[in-house]
Amino acid sequence: MIRIIRGSEPAKLVPLRIAKLAVLGSLGREPTSDEVVGYKEVATELWDAQHHKCCYCEQRIPKGFNDVEHYRPKCRADRRPGCAHTHGYWWLAFSWDNLLFACPACNRSGKNDLFPLIHGSISLLNPLLPPGNELPLLLDPGSAINPVEHIEYTESAIGRNGGPTHWWARPRNASIYGVKTIEVCELNRLELRELRNDHFRSTLAPQVEALNNSFRAHRLENTK
Ligand SMILES: [Zn+2]
């Protein structure tokens, strides 16, 4: 996970939000998932802002795939361990700051409706805006908090007795936000570990090797 700079809210989102929230607010009840629609209008803007990568796992996503993700889930939220309330944040479903672009694995089977809060948090109610008295455990890649301060990637063996190595997401300095985000987004699933291995071998390792060769050549030149 890396920090995302969304940029300015697309102008078209403002009238869309006003119109949609007027309809949803008139229902007098929690809207269903099928009723909260239209936010995908800004899918391309999010896709571009995220350099065509998933907001949580950083996999590249084809443009045709437009799974717009809500950091605060739109219709149902599992806030455990900090809060037992399960209502969704439908009134934030069209808020630029709550929208992200995610891959199918992260959005549908990983994070899904999980939104863990710290014990003692008070969940937001319509029409309150974040953060209120909520303390999310899930890192928001679109916030001012840099995920790199909470998650690092280290190489270690798959088994306890050595053998092949993989690149694992680990909480940096035992960050509780790192622990929960890795768990919720399943950042150590096999496909991601294999992608990190491929990236290291094909891109990073040759660069490290070239740098080391350059340093060695420089040292030899200075000892002549
Ligand atoms: Zn993903």
- 10-residue mean pLDDT profile of the chain (224 residues): values are 92 97 94 94 93 92 83 94 94 97 82 91 93 94 94 85 84 97 93 90 85 85 79
Contact indicator for 116, 107 with CB cutoff of 8 Å: no
Q: How high is the pLDDT of residue 129?
A: 94
The residues with which 147 forms a beta bridge, in sequence order, are none
CA of 55 to the centre of ligand 1 (A): 6
CA of 54 to the centre of ligand 1 (A): 5
Other CB atoms within 10 Å distance of the CB of residue 48: 13
Query: In whole angstroms, what is the distance from residue 111 CA to residue 109 CA?
Result: 6
**Cα 222 to ligand 1 centroid, rounded to whole Å:** 48
Return the CA Rg of the chain: 21
Cα 4 to ligand 1 centroid, rounded to whole Å: 14
Size of the chain in residues: 224
CA distance linking residue 94 with residue 145, whole number of Å:
22
215 C-alpha to ligand 1 centroid (Å): 37
- Domain spans, the chain: 13-188, 189-224
Instruction: Calculate how far, in angstroms, residue 147's C-alpha sits from the geometric centre of ligand 1.
Output: 15
Burial 110-121 (b: 16+ CB within 10 A, else e): bbeebbbbbeeb
What is d(CA 163, CA 121) in angstroms, rounded to the nearest whole number?
A: 43
CA 184 vs CA 33, 65, 115: distances in Å: 21, 22, 8
pTM assigned to the model: 0.89
| Residue 145: per-residue pLDDT | 92
C-alpha of residue 190 to centroid of ligand 1, in Å: 13
Amino acid at 58: E
Measure 27 CA to ligand 1 centroid, in angstroms. Answer: 33
Residue in the structure block whose two tokens are 């269903």: 32
Distance 63 CA to ligand 1 centre (A): 14
| 1 CA from centroid of ligand 1 (Å) | 9
Distance 13 CA to ligand 1 centre (A): 24
